[in-house]
A = this chain, B = another copy of it.
């Protein structure tokens, strides 16, 4: 697609493997606190499960925009209560650090090489629901070479609202079609396309583990359909 000047990336799932990374952090936390009975993978998946409903209050306007790091902390407390973990046995510092598990997510193996290639020809920015500080620390740890950190906090809104996409297009001083939303999730691309953005799909067939049932293929004729970040770089001429 000739006119694309910038790529905006979904991050959780598309760029980083949140499931294994958060499970690793949960395993360490529960072992340190004498609760090896808590299944760390299930804990990670259920914690992530609270993510979409938590943002709904902000999407509907019932609650003003609140950073994802704040929602992660609120959801952690819900999760700890759900596994009957006595929160008073952990210090505030330990709970804060566990919340920051979301800053310590490993990228998929093709990501750093693929982004580095794409960056030569295009502006590359995250367009994630994560807040700036969370994305910054994750990216610094993982070596993700973004040109800037954008997303829900620069837009002041969560995907898939119109504002989450178009406010960031406006901040980039570009036209919608000049920005290519890049994601492993068909619904993210569907929303982006409805607001005029270009679209690229990257297959992440194990984001949800070996039995994943969703997003196993491109459900529409997206502008690019790729199997990895490196494959996308090749298809985009980088």
Segment of A53-61, A143-151, A213-221 engaged in the interface with chain B: A143-151
| 142-164 of chain A: CB within 8 A of chain B | 146-150, 153-154
Count residues of A near B (Cβ-Cβ below 8 Å): 22
Say yes or no: B133 contacts A140, CB within 8 Å: no
In the complex, which residue of chain B has the Cβ closest to the Cβ of A119?
B140
A63 to chain B, nearest CB (A): 18
Say yes or no: A123 contacts B140, CB within 8 Å: yes
Contact of A171 among B133, B140, B148 (CB under 8 A): B133
> How far is B234's CA from A47's CA once the two chains are assembled, in angstroms?
43
Say yes or no: A132 contacts B153, CB within 8 Å: no
> How far is B125's CA from A149's CA once the two chains are assembled, in angstroms?
10
- In the bound complex, residues from chain B placing their C-beta under 8 Å from that of A206 are none
- In the bound complex, residues from chain B placing their C-beta under 8 Å from that of A153 are 154, 171
- In the bound complex, residues from chain B placing their C-beta under 8 Å from that of A149 are 147-149
Most buried by B among A135, A171, A174: A171
A selection of 27 A-B contacts at a CB cut-off of 8 Å is A69-B173, A123-B136, A123-B137, A123-B140, A125-B136, A131-B171, A132-B148, A132-B150, A132-B154, A132-B171, A132-B172, A133-B171, A133-B172, A133-B173, A133-B174, A135-B148, A136-B147, A136-B148, A136-B172, A139-B147, A140-B147, A146-B148, A147-B149, A148-B148, A149-B149, A153-B154, A153-B171
In the complex, which residue of chain B has the Cβ closest to the Cβ of A146?
B148
> How far is B151's CA from A148's CA once the two chains are assembled, in angstroms?
12
In the complex, which residue of chain B has the Cβ closest to the Cβ of A133?
B173
In the complex, which residue of chain B has the Cβ closest to the Cβ of A174?
B133
- In the bound complex, residues from chain B placing their C-beta under 8 Å from that of A135 are 148
A121 to chain B, nearest CB (A): 11
- In the bound complex, residues from chain B placing their C-beta under 8 Å from that of A125 are 136
- In the bound complex, residues from chain B placing their C-beta under 8 Å from that of A123 are 136-137, 140
- In the bound complex, residues from chain B placing their C-beta under 8 Å from that of A69 are 173
4 new A-B pairs (CB below 8 Å) besides A123-B137, A135-B148, A136-B147?
Answer: A132-B172, A140-B147, A146-B148, A149-B149
| 29-51 of chain A: CB within 8 A of chain B | none
| 104-137 of chain A: CB within 8 A of chain B | 123, 125, 131-133, 135-137
- In the bound complex, residues from chain B placing their C-beta under 8 Å from that of A154 are 132, 153-154
